[in-house]
Amino acid sequence: MNKSPDSLKKEFEAIVGKDNVMTAEADLHSYSYDAAVLPSQAPAVAVRPETSEAMGKVVKFCNDNGMPLTVRGAGSNLSGGTIPEKGGVVVVTGALNKILEINAEDMYAVVQPGVVTAKFAAEVAAKGLFYPPDPGSQTVSTLGGNVAENAGGLRGLKYGVTKDYVMGVDFFDVNGELIKTGSKTVKCVTGYNLAGLMVASEGTLGVFEKIILKLVPPPQAAKAMMAVFDDMIAASRAVAAIIANKIVPATLEIMDNFTIRTVENFRKAGLPVDAQALLLIEVDGHPAMVEEDAQKVEKICKEQGATSVKVAKDAAERANVWQARRDALPALARVSPTTVLEDATVPRSKIPAMMQALNEIAKEYKLQIGTFGHAGDGNLHPTILTDKRNHEEWHRVEKAIDAIFDRALALGGTLSGEHGIGLAKSKYMKLECGLGALDYSRRMKSVLDPKGILNPGKIIGF
């Protein structure tokens, strides 16, 4: 790039308008990091297109001038997926936030990438339908970001993740050409599954213009429960037993003692602070099924050693259960300067073994690890509380992270269930996939983005 900062600014202003080009240091700083524990990198400029057309032109301009481009929704991802290249361009999707259509008859919606997840889910609910994916950051995260990261959430066990709701994605290729993929029909096999390829591609293969999302009928009834255990391994065995009994709860979450105490400290929710583990469970569907499943879950939990199982009596109690769960990350994050939230995921039956492994790792590296997460999916969030400025401790943290990945992979698991690879885990990719998949991916990237300007460094490392 040979342009002066001034001429660059003017050229972007010509595309997106004067008010939508940011070059002040404070602005650039706020776009230099995301929710991952990684060094920040300030872009040279941030732009905020207000129209799809301007978005396409920005992409083309960046490619023509070889400028690295990182698209940013809320920056709430946990893997460095929105940390820009130093001196690159951040494209903010905040102004592309229109819900273009909610079609209740055919049960789909068409949205721009900057629509906030929870706002969308609420609009869908107002039309009597249901959009299940509910990542932890849903009150700020955007649907574009959710698709780019294949965001999960608390309802993945029964309802799947973002991938399962993407019917189509229209995106700009690196030349600024609009590529239409997928369909508003529930079945479509016309051409390569490019919409599927966009999911989890973290902005490295194209820039989303609009997204077609599947909607479903809402469950008729739901029941939330809290099962108290005085042993973490017993709780995790109960998780495996529930699944093995062919019950599919909407949500099946676990919390260890440290997390329970920290959450209760954060906001009085009436959690049993002496419990070694809690399972937070919600079953939903037809009222008769909900009743039966709730009874079965209670029975299984008690068989596995639960000291008590409390069923939420009303909507307020139910909301309290889920608020407590959603408080886990912010509560833990307050405890120490640095919070490393991991995401290793194992087949569900391996949850007890993974819990055991996490205990051992915490002891071995003398670290405080709070563990909670989507136990029903095998998707745990061991959370290491540390201080990155303490180099000796940070060194142990890095070793513990390596150990967590090793154990997850040895149990037939994966590096990341839902947080993405981004910058944070790209160096671990070949551990899980081998060089073959990495090389295949790099070949694709090299032809789809020859100058490597689309969110460089993420996933495949360049």
Q: Least distance in Å: CB of 34 to a copy of itself?
A: 16
Binding to a copy of itself by residue 221, rule CB under 8 A?
no
Decide whether 40 or 183 has the Cβ nearer to a copy of itself.
Answer: 183
d(CA 102, CA 321): 30
CB neighbours of residue 1 within 10 Å: 13
Q: Can you tell me which of 49, 417, 456, 457 binds a copy of itself, judged by CB under 8 A?
A: 417
Strands 178-180 and 166-172: antiparallel
The pattern of x and - marking residues 233 through 252 that bind a copy of itself according to CB under 8 A reads: -------x--xx-xxx----
For a copy of itself, the binding residue among 267, 398, 437, 462 (CB under 8 A) is 437
Beta carbons of 94 and 72 less than 8 angstroms apart: no
Comparison of 14 and 410: residue with beta carbon closer to a copy of itself: 410
Stretch that binds a copy of itself, among 30-38, 84-92, 288-296, 390-398 (CB under 8 A): 288-296
Q: Is 305 in the site for a copy of itself (CB under 8 A)?
A: no
Indicate which single residue of 288, 315, 319, 410 sits in contact with a copy of itself (rule: CB under 8 A): 288
- Distance in angstroms (rounded) separating the CA atoms of residues 129 and 216: 6
Question: HSE on the CB side for 401, CA within 13 Å?
Answer: 22
Q: How far is CA 22 from the centre of its chain?
A: 27
For the bound state, the minimum distance from the C-beta of residue 264 to a copy of itself, rounded and expressed in Å, comes to 28
Which of residues 198 and 400 has its CB atom nearest to a copy of itself in the complex?
Answer: 198
Among 194, 311, 335, 403, binds a copy of itself (CB under 8 A): 194
**Contact status: 374 vs a copy of itself (CB under 8 A):** yes
Is residue 107 part of the contact set for a copy of itself (CB under 8 A)? yes
> Segment near a copy of itself (CB under 8 A), from 31-39, 45-53, 332-340, 412-420?
412-420
Question: What is the spatial distance between Cα 28 and Cα 39, in angstroms, rounded to a whole number?
Answer: 14
Does residue 297 contact residue 231 with C-beta atoms inside 8 Å? no
What does the alpha-carbon distance between residue 344 and residue 355 come to, in Å, rounded to a whole number? 11
Cα–Cα distance for residue pair 310/443, rounded to 1 Å: 53
Kindly tell me which of 43 and 417 has the beta carbon lying closer to a copy of itself.
417
Other beta carbons less than 10 A from residue 244's beta carbon: 11
How far apart are CB 286 and a copy of itself at their closest, in Å? 4
Contacts of 363 (CB under 8 A, 6+ apart): none
232 binds a copy of itself (CB under 8 A): no
By CB under 8 A, name the one of 105, 314, 316, 366 that touches a copy of itself.
105
Total count of residues recorded for the chain = 462
Residues 441-460 as x/- pattern, contact with a copy of itself by CB under 8 A: x-xx-xxx----------xx
- Which positions from 144 through 183 interact with a copy of itself, judged by CB under 8 A? 149-150, 152, 156-157, 161, 163-164, 173, 177-181, 183
The site map against a copy of itself for 316-345 (x = CB under 8 A) is -----------------------------x
In Å, what is the CA distance from 369 to each residue of 100, 111, 179, 219?
43, 38, 44, 35
Which of the 8 DSSP states describes residue 135? -
Return d(Cα 96, Cα 399) in angstroms, integer: 41
Q: Decide: is 60 part of the binding site for a copy of itself (CB under 8 A).
A: no
* 419 within 8 A of 78, measured Cβ to Cβ: yes
The span from the CA of 280 to the CA of 324, in Å, is 10
Helix (H, G, I), strand (E, B) or coil at 387: coil
Which pair of structure tokens corresponds to residue 157?
């066990």
Asked if 132 is part of the footprint of a copy of itself (rule: CB under 8 A), the reply reads no
- Nearest-angstrom CA–CA distance, 383 and 388: 14
Please list the residues that pair with 111 across neighbouring strands.
99, 211
Determine which residue in the list 146, 255, 418, 453 makes contact with a copy of itself, applying CB under 8 A.
Answer: 418
Is 118 a binding residue for a copy of itself by CB under 8 A? The answer is no
Residue 391 CB, shortest distance to a copy of itself, in Å, is 29
Number of residues that bind a copy of itself (CB under 8 A): 91
Q: How far is the CB of 438 from a copy of itself (least distance, A)?
A: 7
